[in-house]
Amino acid sequence: MSTILQGLLGAFSGKTGPVIGSSWKGRPVMRARPAFKKNRTFSQSQLDQQEKFKLMSTFLRGLDELLMVTFAPSSGEKTGVNAALSYNLKEAIGGLASPFSIDYPKVRISDGSLSIATKPEIAALPGSNLRFNWTYDPAVAKTNPLDKAVIVLFSEAIGQFFYVKDGAPRMAGEMTINVGVFSGETVHVWTLFLTEDETSASKSLYGGTVAIAP
């Protein structure tokens, strides 16, 4: 309800239909009421997209610092995190209808032009250790002996990532890490390479699942 302040043709205060009367710097003004829809309904397609977005953004949470250097933003994307989310939303969601799931083999942790690991092998060792082996061939294009190996692990049971970004140089051909935080757990594994200055990356490779030996 509005109140007439100066007669029928004068200024008013409050709401009258789609108009709100008020005062600004001593002057009477009118403005349109903001549009407001109660109980907005979403289509099934919109609900599905919301679920997928929440699923993937929650999954990638914790990798922000890594994704900033392993994913180069494409046109219209501000950060590597945005680029990673955009790619994995399109390519790594499983299921035709709700509830959706993460399609782990299709998840990409990095997307770049460096050479991927040649003949990669992942093996669990006693004492919660994990060994990553590969073949170093200096004749392969877009490789540098000082490229850094990166290992990324994810435990579904715990819902947590663990990664080592400053791994062994490419020329070493192997690296071993301790992952006591995942002792006794089965984890998903991805590997990739970063240049020494972290300005370029390879595409990540999915290495399957590995049971971490206590």
Digit-coded pLDDT (tens) for 171-196: 999 999 999 999 999 999 999 999 99
Give yes or no for residue 130 having a pLDDT over 50.
yes
Q: What pLDDT, on a 0 to 100 scale, did the predictor assign at position 8?
A: 47
Average pLDDT, whole number, for the chain?
89
Q: What pLDDT, on a 0 to 100 scale, did the predictor assign at position 38?
A: 60
Q: CATH 2.60.40.10 region(s) of the chain?
A: 44-211
* Tokens of residue 108, six digits: 């990409």
74 Cβ contact list (under 8 Å, min separation 6): 83, 86
pTM of the complete model: 0.80
Dihedral sign computed on CA atoms, order 73, 106, 133, 113? negative
Domain spanning 44-211: CATH superfamily:
Immunoglobulins (2.60.40.10)
